[in-house]
A and B are shown apart, each in its own frame.
Chain A
Amino acid sequence: MKTYFFRMVFATLLGITLHSVQVSAQGGMFATTAGSTRFSASTPLENIEAENKKSQAILNTANNEIAIRMNMRDFVFPNKLMQEHFNENYIESVKYPTATFSGKVDKAPDYTKDGQYDLSATGKFTVHGVTKERTINGKMKIEGGKISITSDFNVALVDHNIEVPSVVFVKIAQVISVKANYVLTPYKK
């Protein structure tokens, strides 16, 4: 009798959890796991550029929430020594493995209509364990059921406690320019 009771509880709970999954999937979610995030810290002395082709982005068109996440280890540098320094000394990717943005699209476009829109999103931007409230501008293109987001913005090293010591011969720009390019498709769980 007892076993029967627990089996019932089990089934009900399972039903509830499955139901909640279905509900959130209907929210009109668009996502990618292969977004490109590039940054440049170049100076006249040295070319310092890297690209992360595994950036993750997700947009919920129902409530305009947007989140972006990337592993710092996935930034690829042409010079592998720079890559090692980036992970070990500057960004400390063991301690702070990801960079994230989590916020809301300010003035949402009509997602069902194809077209190109200027866009801004406000939310929490976290790099190197330091979170800043930021509004980031970009462009959104809606075409054939896909949402493309591009953005160009700057990150000041000092804002995120990223230290460049004077012993480094190679000069690194104090403000990093970042270019993001994400193509989001309907998200299936």
Chain B
Amino acid sequence: MKILRLVMMLICSTSTILYAQDDLLGELSKQDSAQTIPVTATFKSTRVVNGQSVETMKKKHLDFRISHRFGKLNSGAYQFFGLDQASMRMGFEYGLTDDLMIGVGRSTSQKVYDFFGKYKLLKQSSGARNIPVSVTLFGGMGITTVNKELEFQDKLYYTAQVLIARKFGERLSLQLSPTYLHRNHPDVTGDEKVLLAVGIGGRFKLSKRVSLNGEYFYTAREKNTVNAPYYDSMSFGVDIETGGHVFQLHFTNSLGMIEKQFIGETAGTWGKGDIHYGFNISRTFSFDKKNKKKPTHE
């Protein structure tokens, strides 16, 4: 009997659906019910603050990034609270496909050239295909050129990250970033070559164009030892989006802007006020000529 009642209900509901077809708009909306809707803009930029976000550059889009970190806030009025000193990274980052990007950068700190690739493995989506998280793979390497006595081999370092993020509604996005870092020759003698870390980052949208970002990298080692006089990196920032630019302003205890430096070699600690003010400016250019051609109209 229960089955029969169910069947009856089913019939009734089908007939109401069919009735709704008389409405032409209803007829149209029926045609795309099986769409998969990918989640967009989990983060405003390819970076959360220092660390990579799950976002990649779209195909044929170039991102020119300039990042600055000033000196420590606690350096006093003589150093103008850090603003007298500045460390900089300049980078060009380009989307080969919508899911694959490459990047190259140069940091003044340690005179590092860094190269990386990022690949979007999974995209959070709803609808026909329901995927709860976005997953992006990051692989990078770099050459530290400040120490000229070192063999070429010893100047190299490598980073691998799995970035897992989810956008919870319109405002909140969270990301987990397990990290593997390998230095062929650590800066401090006695420091381990391999460093494992896990980052947690997030963004909270305050308005349509302004978001609050935070990031913390937990490193699997003792803090502030003789062999590794380093702390965990913690950063807070604000993303402001203005058309083609994204401005990211932040406070962080890390001076470096590449994984090796901010995950592996953060020398300052928030507790003592070793806080650097800094910003990233990202400007995107589109080289997609194909889409610019105007379709003909009668």
Contacts A24-B21, A87-B40, A170-B244: A51 and B61 contacting too (C-beta < 8 A)? no
Minimum distance in angstroms from B253 CB to a CB of chain A: 29
- A107: interface (CB < 8 Å): no
Q: A residues 19-36 with Cβ under 8 Å of B?
A: 20-21, 24, 31, 33, 36
Question: CB within 8 A of B28: which of A67, A76, A85, A88?
Answer: A67
- B32: interface (CB < 8 Å): yes
Q: Once the chains bind, are B284 and A102 in contact (CB under 8 Å)?
A: no
Q: Once the chains bind, are A51 and B32 in contact (CB under 8 Å)?
A: no
Residue among B15, B28, B209, B245 with most chain A CB within 10 A: B28
Nearest-neighbor residue (CB-CB) of B22 within chain A: A24
Complex: how many Å from CA A13 to CA B11? 7
- A78: interface (CB < 8 Å): yes
Complex: how many Å from CA A24 to CA B88? 68
Q: Once the chains bind, are B29 and A69 in contact (CB under 8 Å)?
A: yes
- B191: interface (CB < 8 Å): no
The A interface, classified by DSSP as helix, strand, loop or mixed, is mixed
Chain A neighbourhood of B28, CB < 8 A: 31, 56-58, 67-69
Chain A neighbourhood of B206, CB < 8 A: none
- A165: interface (CB < 8 Å): yes
Nearest-neighbor residue (CB-CB) of A163 within chain B: B208
- B190: interface (CB < 8 Å): no
Complex: how many Å from CA A79 to CA B244? 9
Q: Once the chains bind, are A20 and B61 in contact (CB under 8 Å)?
A: no
Return the CB mask of B12-25 against A: 1 if under 8 Å, else 0.
10110011011011
Contacts A20-B18, A150-B297, A169-B243: A76 and B25 contacting too (C-beta < 8 A)? no
Number of A residues contacting the other chain (C-beta, 8 Å)? 55
Return the CB mask of B230-271 against A: 1 if under 8 Å, else 0.
000000000011111100000000000000000000000000
Q: Once the chains bind, are A94 and B170 in contact (CB under 8 Å)?
A: yes
Return the CB mask of A61-97 against B: 1 if under 8 Å, else 0.
0000111110101001111110011011100001000
Contacts A94-B170, A102-B24: A169 and B245 contacting too (C-beta < 8 A)? yes
- B121: interface (CB < 8 Å): no
Return the CB mask of A147-189 against B: 1 if under 8 Å, else 0.
0101000000000000001011110000000010100000000
Q: Once the chains bind, are B18 and A168 in contact (CB under 8 Å)?
A: no
Question: CB within 8 A of B242: which of A17, A87, A168?
Answer: A168
Q: Once the chains bind, are A73 and B37 in contact (CB under 8 Å)?
A: yes
- B76: interface (CB < 8 Å): no
Q: Once the chains bind, are B31 and A56 in contact (CB under 8 Å)?
A: yes
Complex: how many Å from CA A169 to CA B243? 6
Minimum distance in angstroms from A119 CB to a CB of chain B: 14
Chain A neighbourhood of B31, CB < 8 A: 33, 56
- A130: interface (CB < 8 Å): no
Q: B residues 1-53 with Cβ under 8 Å of A?
A: 1, 4, 7-8, 11-12, 14-15, 18-19, 21-22, 24-25, 27-29, 31-32, 35, 37, 40-41
* Contacts A20-B18, A49-B294, A81-B244 known; 12 new A-B pairs at CB < 8 A: A2-B1, A10-B11, A24-B22, A31-B28, A36-B295, A51-B295, A58-B24, A58-B28, A68-B28, A73-B37, A78-B292, A81-B284
